[in-house]
Structure 1
Amino acid sequence: MNTASGAATLVPHRLSWQELPEQVRAAAESALGAPVVRDVSQSGGFSPGLASRLALSDGRRVFAKAISADQNPRAPRLYRREIEVMRSLPASVPAPRLRWSYDDGKWVMLVLDDVDGAMLATPWRPGQFARVMSALERLADGLTPAPVPAMSIVDDLAENFRSWHAIGADPQLASRLDEWARANLTRLAELESGWASAARGDTLLHADLRADNLLLTDDTVIVVDWPYAVTGAPWVDALLFLPSVAATSDLDPEQAWQDFRPAHAAASGQVNSVLAAVAGDFLYQSLLPAPAGLPTLRAHQREKGMAALAWLRRRIS
């Protein structure tokens, strides 16, 4: 996957190929049938693990990502989830194909197609944004019903999406919210409480769409990094995605939402409930200490949380 242009690197250091343990590198080269002769680390995202385009001695190129709990304790579990999804994604889904995976109990690696594409520019350009929204409509159609087994978003985010309740129970956290959020904590918690029934569905969702998880080719939009894949309502991916657009551009999330075809099947109250849960989750996470190996994550979460909350305020005012 070529991510050399577009979003800036969001981690201070990514592992290089030579920094991986020898046994991991040897296993990969054996499976690929050729040694690695060049490692080009890629920008974008938050993971401190390997995320590199690798050139092989026979001229082939692949994309590899690898991590252990030493870099981030949660990451190996997520990589294992992604392996299961990538093994089963149908060829019709615009995503890189999984060529090989590795898991020795500590280190986890995925080797995927190297996509000849470019990252999206931020601030967002209207033409690129329109292409992505059209691609998300096609993705919702093609992934309903879910073609691969995945847990429900209701189960996966049950704890995350009660964050207004958690903030309301902690006066110290609540004091760090802006004035409007503090004054409306009860209302936000009530809205959030309806998210599960609203978001339930049988569409496979990526659930972590943002500029650095999308690549543009001449004729399509490629969706990368699937460790958070879940099932849910077909409109949820776009709702999770739009706060990141609003946080990095002047594009109007409400207008984009009204133009998004799957959104027409969602009642306004359902949308508000899920959007409240999204805003609460991002803002709650942003108030916590930075996780190991991800020093820039909290600022990113705050930006998206504030954008989601501003959008929600417009909808319920």
Structure 2
Amino acid sequence: MPQETGRRRITWGALPRGVAACIEQLLGAEVAEAASQPGGFSEGLASLLTLTDGRRVFVKAANSEHAPAVSDFHRREIAVTRQLATTWTPRLLDAYDDGIWIAGIYEEIRGKLPAQPWRADELDRVLAALIELTDALTPSPIDRALLRGPRLGGWRALAEGGGVPVDRLRRMTPWAADHLDDLADLETWAPQALAGETLQHGDLYPFNIMLNNERVFVVDWPHAWIGAPHCDTVTLLSSASLSGVDPQELAERHPLTRAVDKEQIDVMLAAHSGFLLRITTSVGPEADQNLVEMMTALGLASVRWLRNRT
């Protein structure tokens, strides 16, 4: 798993003073100290703020003129988190939106990102917590109108587009390039194979998980969608292979995946890897290379698992 944070983070001091003052007004105290947080790849602010009254909060903010996609993610995450009420997710304290700057203010989660490569005990804790979280999120407690469709699929676009992206794909994974049509056909089954009533995180990787001695927390919910209970677990297991973990062995033992039809997991892996690798084979030099490296590694991990399964 690539360790770097996205390269387009900003500090608290880089916020316009008027925006910072409005956030402080919402907090009811001034900021005494700000520490930019590691992990994750979104642009903008991601800082733990210590206030003059001793409280600490986590704030994410972005400029919709400079980073419209990230701002849209923040707005959706704020809306989703307002309706989430679980012990596994952070609580939204307040939000700021002036039409240009959008900020979500969340409770501090006292914990740390899981070690990478994965430690067996931490991975076991997270996989166990997913069973409880999935049960709590079935049926979904979030209004479907707040959500968008899952970020899945991309092989058909690659197959039909050809050219440089397919050449790049072949250098990354000759097997996928040779099986483009098969992968494209497989991902078309996603609406049927991945249908369900469980709220999915949609981006369940180690950089969106925090641990302390008591609990496992899942943070950053802008990509949530509603689907089959096994989808997030498949995503996490595919990424765990980057730590030398055999995802197939874990999937055969885990309650959320062991009884799932083989084709449903294959479809998830195909749709997931297609989304990631279509993007990374198509981006230009202006893209955040840390983000590109992360998406490439995760996409190839899913491809390898799928290839081994087929």
What range is the shorter-chain TM-score in?
A: over 0.9
Q: Is the 8 Å Cα contact of residues 145 and 204 (structure 1) preserved in structure 2?
A: yes
Pairing partner for 1:202 from 194, 197, 201: 197
* 5+ long unaligned stretches in structure 2: none
Q: Which residue of 2 aligns with 1:3?
A: none
1:70 offset after TM fit, Å? 4.2
Q: For residue 81 of structure 1, give the secondary structure of its aligned residue in structure 2.
A: helix
Q: 1:242 to 1:87 in 2, by over 3 A?
A: same
Q: AA paired with 1:171? A: G
Q: For residue 289 of structure 2, give the secondary structure of its aligned residue in structure 1.
A: coil
Q: Which residue of 1 aligns with 2:115?
A: 121
Pairing partner for 2:56 from 55, 61, 66: 61
Q: AA paired with 2:79? A: E
1:281 offset after TM fit, Å? 1.4
Q: For residue 161 of structure 1, give the secondary structure of its aligned residue in structure 2.
A: coil
Distance 2:124 2:183 in 1: 31
Q: Is the 8 Å Cα contact of residues 86 and 226 (structure 1) preserved in structure 2?
A: yes
Deviations 1:220-251 (A, max 9, x none): 1011111111111111111122222212x001
Distance 2:60 2:39 in 1: 13
What is the RMSD computed on CA atoms of the aligned residues? 2.0
Q: Is the 8 Å Cα contact of residues 7 and 41 (structure 2) preserved in structure 1?
A: no
Pairing partner for 1:252 from 240, 243, 246: 246
Would you say 1:170 and 2:164 are equivalent positions? no
Q: 1:151 to 1:184 in 2, by over 3 A?
A: farther
Q: Which residue of 1 aligns with 2:32?
A: 37
Would you say 1:227 and 2:222 are equivalent positions? yes
Q: Which moved more, 1:187-196 or 1:202-211?
A: 187-196
1:71 offset after TM fit, Å? 4.1
Distance 2:59 2:155 in 1: 38
Q: For residue 119 of structure 1, give the secondary structure of its aligned residue in structure 2.
A: coil
Q: 1:208 to 1:292 in 2, by over 3 A?
A: farther
Distance 2:93 2:266 in 1: 40
Aligned 1:32-111 pairs, distance under 5 A: 32-90=27-85, 92-111=86-105
How many residues are paired up? 306
1:174 offset after TM fit, Å? 2.1
Would you say 1:22 and 2:22 are equivalent positions? no
Distance 1:273 1:194 in 2: 7
1:265 offset after TM fit, Å? 4.3
Q: Which moved more, 1:62-71 or 1:200-209?
A: 62-71
1:59 offset after TM fit, Å? 0.7
Q: Which moved more, 1:62-71 or 1:130-139?
A: 62-71
What is the TM-score with the length of structure 1 in the denominator?
Answer: 0.91
Distance 1:169 1:285 in 2: 14
Q: Is the 8 Å Cα contact of residues 64 and 99 (structure 2) preserved in structure 1?
A: no
Q: AA paired with 2:159? A: G
Q: Is the 8 Å Cα contact of residues 192 and 274 (structure 1) preserved in structure 2?
A: yes
Q: AA paired with 2:180? A: L
Deviations 1:239-288 (A, max 9, x none): 122222212x0011111211221213421111111211111111111112
1:108 offset after TM fit, Å? 0.6
* 5+ long unaligned stretches in structure 1: 1-5
Q: Which residue of 2 aligns with 1:211?
A: 206
Q: Which residue of 1 aligns with 2:231?
A: 236
Q: Is the 8 Å Cα contact of residues 7 and 121 (structure 1) preserved in structure 2?
A: no
Q: 1:146 to 1:128 in 2, by over 3 A?
A: same
